[in-house]
Amino acid sequence: MKRTGPTKEKTKKLVAMLEKAGRKGKSAIWIELAARISKPRRKRPDINLWKIEKLAKVFEGKNLVVPGKVLGFGEIGQKASVAALEFSGLAEEKIKKAGGKAMLLEEAVEKGIKPKDMVIVK
């Protein structure tokens, strides 16, 4: 069976960017994210806001990184910094309304977020 992966050019460029950041900074977390994003779309996680809120309480002060899409089901009452491949419109709105940050993974790489400040959400 033929191996499938991302078909969107934007996603392919992101995978290359993450791999480059991982090699340059000798950081395994960027390479791990690139590997998870390069999987077929149906195997990438879709995370709801209620789970983001639970994790934000446990990992306070960390950036939550989702190698998939953040969906708007649930409420978020806590400030959280979330970086993801994609956001639904409602999820992004709710995160910003709660005082948090919703950024795409490209922005996270460009900002140079330190790997020790990141948690990958499964």
How would you classify the pairing of strands 101-104 and 118-120?
A: unpaired
The model's pTM:
0.87
Q: Where are the domains of the chain?
A: 9-120
- DSSP element (H, E) containing 31: helix 28-37
Tell me, which fold does domain 9-120 have in CATH? Answer: Ribosomal Protein L15; Chain: K; domain 2 (3.100.10)
Could you tell me the two tokens for 59? 């990992």
What is the model's pLDDT at position 115? 86
**pLDDT beneath 70: ranges in the chain:** 1-3, 5
Select from 45, 56, 59 the least CA-distant residue to 122. Answer: 45
